[in-house]
Amino acid sequence: MQPIGVFDSGVGGLSVLQALRLELPYERFVYVSDAGHAPYGERDVAHVLQRSLAIGDYLVRSHGVRALVVACNTATAAAIAALRAAHPALPIVGIEPALKPAAAHSRTGVVGVLATRGTLASDKFQALLQAQSAQVRFVLQACDGLAAAIEHDDKSQIRALCARYTGGMGHFGAAPGAIDTVVLGCTHYAFATAALQTLLGPDVRLLDAGQPVAQRTRSLLSNENKQNFAIAAGDKTSAWVDLWTTGAVNTLQDTAQRWLTGTAPARFMELG
Protein backbone atom coordinates (compact mmCIF):
# COMPACT_ATOMS: atom_id res chain seq x y z
CA MET A 1 0.00 0.00 0.00
CA GLN A 2 1.25 3.48 -0.85
CA PRO A 3 2.68 5.75 1.87
CA ILE A 4 1.28 8.75 3.68
CA GLY A 5 2.94 12.04 2.76
CA VAL A 6 3.90 14.61 5.41
CA PHE A 7 5.62 17.96 4.90
CA ASP A 8 6.78 21.02 6.80
CA SER A 9 9.08 23.97 6.22
CA GLY A 10 11.79 22.15 8.18
CA VAL A 11 12.25 19.80 11.11
CA GLY A 12 9.27 21.03 13.12
CA GLY A 13 6.90 18.64 11.40
CA LEU A 14 8.87 15.75 12.87
CA SER A 15 6.83 16.34 16.03
CA VAL A 16 3.69 15.61 13.99
CA LEU A 17 5.37 12.67 12.24
CA GLN A 18 6.19 11.17 15.62
CA ALA A 19 2.53 11.47 16.68
CA LEU A 20 1.44 9.90 13.39
CA ARG A 21 3.82 6.97 13.86
CA LEU A 22 2.50 6.36 17.36
CA GLU A 23 -1.10 6.48 16.13
CA LEU A 24 -0.41 4.48 12.94
CA PRO A 25 2.62 2.30 13.75
CA TYR A 26 2.16 -0.05 10.79
CA GLU A 27 2.08 2.65 8.12
CA ARG A 28 4.68 3.89 5.67
CA PHE A 29 5.52 7.60 5.59
CA VAL A 30 7.35 9.97 3.28
CA TYR A 31 8.37 13.20 4.99
CA VAL A 32 9.61 16.33 3.21
CA SER A 33 11.49 19.06 5.06
CA ASP A 34 11.56 22.20 2.91
CA ALA A 35 14.48 23.61 4.89
CA GLY A 36 16.00 25.14 1.76
CA HIS A 37 13.06 27.55 1.57
CA ALA A 38 12.35 28.06 5.29
CA PRO A 39 11.11 29.52 7.51
CA TYR A 40 7.60 29.68 6.11
CA GLY A 41 6.30 31.69 9.05
CA GLU A 42 8.42 34.69 8.11
CA ARG A 43 7.82 34.54 4.35
CA ASP A 44 5.00 36.02 2.29
CA VAL A 45 1.85 34.05 1.54
CA ALA A 46 2.68 33.66 -2.17
CA HIS A 47 5.98 31.96 -1.32
CA VAL A 48 4.35 29.52 1.12
CA LEU A 49 1.55 28.75 -1.35
CA GLN A 50 3.98 28.07 -4.19
CA ARG A 51 6.21 25.81 -2.10
CA SER A 52 3.27 23.90 -0.62
CA LEU A 53 1.77 23.18 -4.03
CA ALA A 54 5.16 22.11 -5.38
CA ILE A 55 5.74 19.69 -2.51
CA GLY A 56 2.19 18.36 -2.69
CA ASP A 57 2.65 17.67 -6.42
CA TYR A 58 6.01 15.99 -5.75
CA LEU A 59 4.58 13.68 -3.09
CA VAL A 60 1.65 12.68 -5.30
CA ARG A 61 3.60 12.20 -8.54
CA SER A 62 6.87 10.75 -7.24
CA HIS A 63 5.61 8.73 -4.28
CA GLY A 64 1.93 8.13 -5.04
CA VAL A 65 0.90 9.08 -1.51
CA ARG A 66 -2.62 8.05 -0.57
CA ALA A 67 -3.02 10.83 2.01
CA LEU A 68 -1.24 14.10 2.77
CA VAL A 69 -0.59 15.73 6.14
CA VAL A 70 0.37 19.41 6.10
CA ALA A 71 2.46 19.46 9.28
CA CYS A 72 2.89 23.23 9.32
CA ASN A 73 0.49 25.83 10.70
CA THR A 74 1.61 28.52 8.24
CA ALA A 75 1.32 26.22 5.22
CA THR A 76 -2.10 25.03 6.36
CA ALA A 77 -3.35 28.60 6.64
CA ALA A 78 -1.89 29.67 3.31
CA ALA A 79 -2.30 26.64 1.10
CA ILE A 80 -4.62 23.87 2.28
CA ALA A 81 -7.58 25.09 0.23
CA ALA A 82 -5.40 25.22 -2.89
CA LEU A 83 -3.95 21.78 -2.16
CA ARG A 84 -7.43 20.29 -1.83
CA ALA A 85 -8.48 21.95 -5.09
CA ALA A 86 -5.39 20.59 -6.85
CA HIS A 87 -5.86 17.05 -5.49
CA PRO A 88 -9.61 16.60 -4.91
CA ALA A 89 -9.46 12.81 -4.51
CA LEU A 90 -6.65 12.91 -1.94
CA PRO A 91 -7.42 12.99 1.80
CA ILE A 92 -5.56 16.05 3.12
CA VAL A 93 -5.19 16.87 6.82
CA GLY A 94 -4.00 20.27 7.99
CA ILE A 95 -2.93 21.59 11.35
CA GLU A 96 -4.12 24.58 13.33
CA PRO A 97 -3.29 26.02 16.74
CA ALA A 98 -5.16 24.21 19.53
CA LEU A 99 -7.22 27.22 20.63
CA LYS A 100 -10.43 25.32 21.40
CA PRO A 101 -8.78 22.64 23.59
CA ALA A 102 -6.78 25.36 25.35
CA ALA A 103 -9.91 27.38 26.10
CA ALA A 104 -11.59 24.27 27.51
CA HIS A 105 -8.57 23.45 29.66
CA SER A 106 -7.88 26.92 31.06
CA ARG A 107 -9.11 27.60 34.60
CA THR A 108 -8.02 31.24 34.70
CA GLY A 109 -9.64 32.07 31.36
CA VAL A 110 -6.38 33.41 29.92
CA VAL A 111 -4.56 31.50 27.16
CA GLY A 112 -1.24 32.36 25.56
CA VAL A 113 -0.50 31.61 21.92
CA LEU A 114 3.06 31.34 20.59
CA ALA A 115 3.13 31.25 16.80
CA THR A 116 4.84 32.58 13.71
CA ARG A 117 3.95 36.00 12.41
CA GLY A 118 2.54 34.41 9.26
CA THR A 119 0.16 32.17 11.21
CA LEU A 120 -1.12 34.96 13.46
CA ALA A 121 -1.73 37.26 10.49
CA SER A 122 -3.61 34.67 8.43
CA ASP A 123 -7.35 34.87 7.79
CA LYS A 124 -7.67 31.23 8.87
CA PHE A 125 -6.19 31.94 12.29
CA GLN A 126 -8.27 35.08 12.77
CA ALA A 127 -11.44 33.14 11.95
CA LEU A 128 -10.41 30.42 14.41
CA LEU A 129 -9.77 33.04 17.07
CA GLN A 130 -13.15 34.72 16.50
CA ALA A 131 -14.90 31.37 16.90
CA GLN A 132 -13.67 30.95 20.48
CA SER A 133 -15.65 31.84 23.60
CA ALA A 134 -15.70 35.50 24.56
CA GLN A 135 -15.13 34.32 28.13
CA VAL A 136 -11.53 33.41 27.30
CA ARG A 137 -8.82 36.00 26.66
CA PHE A 138 -6.06 35.08 24.24
CA VAL A 139 -2.62 36.68 24.47
CA LEU A 140 -0.90 36.38 21.10
CA GLN A 141 2.87 36.44 20.63
CA ALA A 142 4.73 36.28 17.33
CA CYS A 143 8.06 34.49 17.79
CA ASP A 144 10.34 35.74 15.05
CA GLY A 145 13.49 33.65 14.76
CA LEU A 146 12.45 30.85 17.11
CA ALA A 147 11.70 28.30 14.38
CA ALA A 148 15.05 29.07 12.75
CA ALA A 149 16.90 28.64 16.07
CA ILE A 150 15.20 25.27 16.56
CA GLU A 151 16.02 24.33 12.98
CA HIS A 152 19.71 24.94 13.72
CA ASP A 153 19.54 23.40 17.21
CA ASP A 154 20.94 26.62 18.71
CA LYS A 155 20.10 25.89 22.35
CA SER A 156 21.28 29.21 23.77
CA GLN A 157 19.31 31.14 21.16
CA ILE A 158 16.25 28.97 21.78
CA ARG A 159 16.38 29.74 25.51
CA ALA A 160 16.96 33.44 24.90
CA LEU A 161 14.09 33.77 22.43
CA CYS A 162 11.70 31.77 24.62
CA ALA A 163 12.55 34.05 27.54
CA ARG A 164 12.12 37.19 25.43
CA TYR A 165 8.76 36.25 23.99
CA THR A 166 7.16 34.79 27.10
CA GLY A 167 8.53 37.71 29.13
CA GLY A 168 6.40 40.12 27.16
CA MET A 169 3.12 38.24 27.49
CA GLY A 170 2.27 38.85 31.15
CA HIS A 171 2.05 36.67 34.25
CA PHE A 172 1.91 32.88 34.10
CA GLY A 173 0.51 30.42 36.62
CA ALA A 174 -2.68 29.41 38.38
CA ALA A 175 -3.51 32.78 39.95
CA PRO A 176 -6.61 34.66 38.72
CA GLY A 177 -5.82 36.61 35.57
CA ALA A 178 -2.61 34.68 34.86
CA ILE A 179 -1.93 32.67 31.71
CA ASP A 180 -2.31 29.02 32.70
CA THR A 181 -2.34 27.44 29.24
CA VAL A 182 -0.05 28.09 26.28
CA VAL A 183 -0.73 26.97 22.72
CA LEU A 184 2.30 26.07 20.63
CA GLY A 185 1.14 27.40 17.29
CA CYS A 186 4.14 26.19 15.27
CA THR A 187 5.20 22.56 15.00
CA HIS A 188 8.82 23.56 15.60
CA TYR A 189 7.96 24.82 19.08
CA ALA A 190 7.28 21.31 20.37
CA PHE A 191 11.06 20.93 20.39
CA ALA A 192 11.34 23.91 22.77
CA THR A 193 8.96 22.43 25.34
CA ALA A 194 11.66 21.86 27.98
CA ALA A 195 12.90 25.45 27.77
CA LEU A 196 9.37 26.85 27.85
CA GLN A 197 8.22 24.68 30.75
CA THR A 198 11.25 25.76 32.80
CA LEU A 199 10.41 29.41 32.15
CA LEU A 200 6.66 29.15 32.74
CA GLY A 201 6.56 26.78 35.69
CA PRO A 202 4.67 23.58 36.47
CA ASP A 203 1.24 25.24 36.71
CA VAL A 204 1.22 26.13 33.01
CA ARG A 205 0.14 23.52 30.47
CA LEU A 206 1.61 23.52 26.95
CA LEU A 207 -0.58 22.29 24.10
CA ASP A 208 0.40 21.35 20.56
CA ALA A 209 -1.66 19.80 17.78
CA GLY A 210 0.40 16.71 16.92
CA GLN A 211 -1.83 14.12 18.57
CA PRO A 212 -5.15 15.57 17.29
CA VAL A 213 -3.73 15.64 13.76
CA ALA A 214 -2.63 12.02 14.05
CA GLN A 215 -6.04 10.97 15.35
CA ARG A 216 -7.78 12.89 12.57
CA THR A 217 -5.56 11.22 9.97
CA ARG A 218 -6.34 7.76 11.31
CA SER A 219 -10.06 8.50 11.35
CA LEU A 220 -10.00 9.84 7.80
CA LEU A 221 -8.09 6.85 6.45
CA SER A 222 -10.42 4.44 8.24
CA ASN A 223 -13.54 6.19 6.98
CA GLU A 224 -12.27 6.09 3.40
CA ASN A 225 -11.01 2.49 3.71
CA LYS A 226 -7.44 3.65 3.12
CA GLN A 227 -5.88 2.52 6.38
CA ASN A 228 -3.31 -0.24 5.99
CA PHE A 229 -5.24 -3.00 7.77
CA ALA A 230 -3.11 -5.74 6.21
CA ILE A 231 -0.06 -4.44 8.01
CA ALA A 232 -2.14 -3.46 11.03
CA ALA A 233 -2.80 -7.12 11.65
CA GLY A 234 0.50 -7.16 13.50
CA ASP A 235 3.42 -7.12 11.09
CA LYS A 236 5.49 -3.95 11.55
CA THR A 237 8.27 -5.14 9.26
CA SER A 238 6.74 -3.40 6.24
CA ALA A 239 6.60 -0.02 8.00
CA TRP A 240 9.25 2.50 7.02
CA VAL A 241 9.95 6.21 6.86
CA ASP A 242 11.64 8.09 4.03
CA LEU A 243 12.81 11.57 4.94
CA TRP A 244 13.67 14.05 2.20
CA THR A 245 14.98 17.59 2.56
CA THR A 246 15.71 20.58 0.34
CA GLY A 247 18.30 21.62 2.94
CA ALA A 248 21.16 19.81 4.64
CA VAL A 249 20.61 16.08 5.03
CA ASN A 250 22.75 15.90 8.17
CA THR A 251 20.56 18.48 9.94
CA LEU A 252 17.41 16.47 9.26
CA GLN A 253 19.13 13.22 10.17
CA ASP A 254 20.49 14.55 13.47
CA THR A 255 17.12 15.95 14.51
CA ALA A 256 15.20 12.85 13.47
CA GLN A 257 17.55 10.60 15.41
CA ARG A 258 16.99 12.73 18.52
CA TRP A 259 13.23 13.00 18.31
CA LEU A 260 11.81 10.07 16.37
CA THR A 261 11.36 6.91 18.39
CA GLY A 262 10.38 3.46 17.23
CA THR A 263 11.91 0.71 15.17
CA ALA A 264 10.70 1.52 11.65
CA PRO A 265 13.66 1.85 9.26
CA ALA A 266 14.38 5.40 8.10
CA ARG A 267 16.21 6.63 5.02
CA PHE A 268 17.46 10.19 4.54
CA MET A 269 17.77 11.79 1.11
CA GLU A 270 18.37 15.19 -0.44
CA LEU A 271 15.67 16.66 -2.62
CA GLY A 272 16.95 19.01 -5.30
User: What are the E-state strand segments in the chain?
Assistant: 4-8, 29-33, 67-70, 92-93, 110-115, 137-142, 181-184, 205-207, 241-245, 266-270
Could you give the residue numbers annotated as active site? 72, 186
Could you check whether the bond before residue 39 is cis, i.e. omega within 30 degrees of 0?
Answer: yes
Nearest in space to 35 (alpha carbons), one of 19, 15, 51: 51
Distance, in Å, from the CA atom of 75 to the CA atom of 50, rounded to the nearest integer, reads 10
Nearest in space to 84 (alpha carbons), one of 125, 136, 49: 49
Cβ contact 183:207 at 8 Å: yes
Cβ contact 264:240 at 8 Å: yes
